Amino acid sequence: MTAATSKSFFWQGCKAGVPFVLVVVPFAMLFGVAATEAGLPVSQTMGFTVVVIAGASQFAALQFMSENAPMFVVIASALAVNLRMAMYSAALTPHLGQEPLWKRALISYVLVDQTYALAFEKFERKHDLTLSQKTAYFLGAATPICPLWVLFTYLGALIGDGIPPEYGLDFALPIAFLAIVAPGLRTVAHIAAALVSIVLALALVSVPMNLGLLIAAIAAMMTGAEVERRMT
Amino acid sequence: MTYTEPQIWAVIAILGVGTYLIRFSFLGLIGDRPLPPWLLRHLRYTSVAILPGLVAPLVIWPAATDGVPDVPRLAAALVTIGLGFWTKGVVRSMLGGALTLYVFQALMA
């Protein structure tokens, strides 16, 4: 009985995850191509994708390594991109925190923007789900997303240098990031944070070691939090 | 890029462990404890605080044009932001931005 219902929740999760394939596939290929063009061998491109499994931070690391920023700046900036996942982890703990350690370890590995968004929305909407149903749904949502992320990074890495510069691929990264951020500009606080981020990043571009972005990001984060506090 | 192969592996390893620890933090280590509201308030803005600043110099001073501001790239960025902001569709915004870049490049060639 329990096994059967878990299975159906796994499939529900899979189905919910499928539309995100449209976002994951181009983004993954783009990382493969960009990493190869930056000079990374396939093994390291795949190392990023499998070990880090967080696209935006991988792009950030790649960009800063290409600009020869010092290693601690590369890592600090890329980790800053991923800090939002602490919020995801906290939000899912009331729902999945009772699982045995190995399952929580697995869930953490595939805790990405899309799986978090799908699962959290489902758990908040349906209050009568059991622990195993929730876990099945979460892992179901990861099933079409995470393997394709790895597979299409690999295809991108194989295509690599084969794409001529006329295609403007240098600009695929800015477009991808803007397309990810713009829909999230839901409130005045988000917009204020984004504007501070842009203005300070441009103003501080000559700060040595690419530290300007970190300063801009901290100021922007505080701006967003402060605007939210004053408006509520 | 002056990064050597072992240095890049080091970046991969440290970034991988750090990112995993962020994901594992509450689920695996801290457990079910409510986050203080001030911390949640800051975490909510991490993406929107860092990604625009990362992209802005790449849009204004593109490496492909040796840092000279470029109309097709500026137009593509604006169209992507506009589509994303008003339609909320990620794929739509990416396609619209790419199309704008190609159209402007063709017109200005």
Tens digit of each residue's pLDDT (9 = 90 or more) over A207-229: 988 899 999 999 999 999 999 99
The verdict on residue B91 lying in a domain is yes
The verdict on residue B85 lying in a domain is yes
B30 to chain A: which residues are within 8 Å by CB?
A: 90, 93
B48/A193 Cβ within 8 A:
yes
In this prediction, residue B98 has a pLDDT band, given cuts at 50, 70 and 90, of: very high
Contact criterion met (CB below 8 Å) for A197 and A80: no
Interface size between A and B, measured as CB pairs under 8 A: 281
Contacting residues for B39 by C-beta, under 8 A, at least 6 apart? none
Percent residues over pLDDT 90 in chain A: 67
B2/A177 Cβ within 8 A:
no
* Domains identified in chain B, total number: 1
Q: CB-based burial of residue A209 (10 Å sphere; 0-12 exposed, 13-18 middle, 19+ buried)?
A: middle
| Torsion sign, CA atoms A85, A91, A94, A95 | negative
Residue A176 has its nearest CB partner, among B28, B94, B101, at B94
B81/A89 Cβ within 8 A:
no
The pLDDT assigned to A1 comes to 47
Whole-Å CA distances, B46 to A197, B5, B51, B89: 10, 30, 9, 21
The verdict on residue B80 lying in a domain is yes
Average pLDDT over every residue of A184-189: 93
Residue A75 has its nearest CB partner, among B15, B48, B105, at B15
Average pLDDT over every residue of B67-79: 95
The pLDDT assigned to B47 comes to 85
Would you say how long chain A is, in residues? 232
In this prediction, residue A163 has a pLDDT band, given cuts at 50, 70 and 90, of: confident
A179/B80 Cβ within 8 A:
yes
Q: Which residue of A has its CA nearest to B22?
A: A86
For B15-61, how does the pLDDT look when each residue is reduced to its tens digit (9 = 90+)? Answer: 999 999 999 999 998 887 777 889 888 988 988 999 999 999 999 99
Contact criterion met (CB below 8 Å) for A179 and B93: yes
Q: Nearest to residue A103, comparing CAs of B64, B28, B29, B85? A: B28
pLDDT greater than 50 at residue A71: yes
As a whole number, the mean pLDDT across chain B is: 92
Matching residue, tokens 């849009």: B59
DSSP B27-62: IIII-S-PPPHHHHHHHTTHHHHHHHHHHHHHHHS-
B82 to chain A: which residues are within 8 Å by CB?
A: 182
How close is the nearest chain B Cα to the Cα of A221, in Å?
5
The pLDDT assigned to A4 comes to 62
B4, B14, B15: best mutation site toward chain A, by most A Cβ within 10 Å?
A: B15
pLDDT greater than 80 at residue A164: no
In this prediction, residue A74 has a pLDDT band, given cuts at 50, 70 and 90, of: very high
For A116-149, how does the pLDDT look when each residue is reduced to its tens digit (9 = 90+)? Answer: 989 988 998 888 899 999 999 999 999 999 999 9
Q: Which residue of B has its CA nearest to A23?
A: B91
As a whole number, the mean pLDDT across chain A is: 91
How close is the nearest chain B Cα to the Cα of A85, in Å?
6
The verdict on residue B22 lying in a domain is no
Give the separation between CA A137 and CA A120, rounded to whole angstroms.
10
How close is the nearest chain A Cα to the Cα of B57, in Å?
6
Contact criterion met (CB below 8 Å) for A185 and B48: yes
A189/B28 Cβ within 8 A:
no
- What's the ipTM? 0.89
Tokens of A123: 């758990």
Strand, helix or coil at A177? helix
Q: Write the single-letter amino acid at B22.
A: I
The verdict on residue B14 lying in a domain is no
The residue segments making up the domain with residue B78 are 51-108
How close is the nearest chain B Cα to the Cα of A37, in Å?
11
Contacting residues for A117 by C-beta, under 8 A, at least 6 apart? none
The verdict on residue B84 lying in a domain is yes
B49/A218 Cβ within 8 A:
yes
- Higher-confidence residue of A26 and A52: namely A52
Whole-Å CA distances, A189 to A138, A149, A222, A227: 30, 31, 10, 5
| Geometric angle at alpha carbon A180, from A175 and A182, rounded to 5° | 90
Residue A90 has its nearest CB partner, among B26, B45, B57, at B26
A177, A207, A223: best mutation site toward chain B, by most B Cβ within 10 Å?
A: A177
pTM of the model: 0.85
Q: Which residue of A has its CA nearest to B28?
A: A104
B89/A75 Cβ within 8 A:
no
| Torsion sign, CA atoms B39, B43, B46, B48 | negative
Q: How many CB atoms lie within 10 A of CB B65?
A: 12
B45/A82 Cβ within 8 A:
no
In this prediction, residue A3 has a pLDDT band, given cuts at 50, 70 and 90, of: low
Give the separation between CA A77 and CA B29, rounded to whole angstroms.
24
Give the separation between CA A89 and CA A108, rounded to whole angstroms.
8
pLDDT greater than 50 at residue B76: yes
Whole-Å CA distances, A124 to A64, A88, A116, A129, B37: 38, 14, 12, 10, 19
Q: Which residue of B has its CA nearest to A195?
A: B52
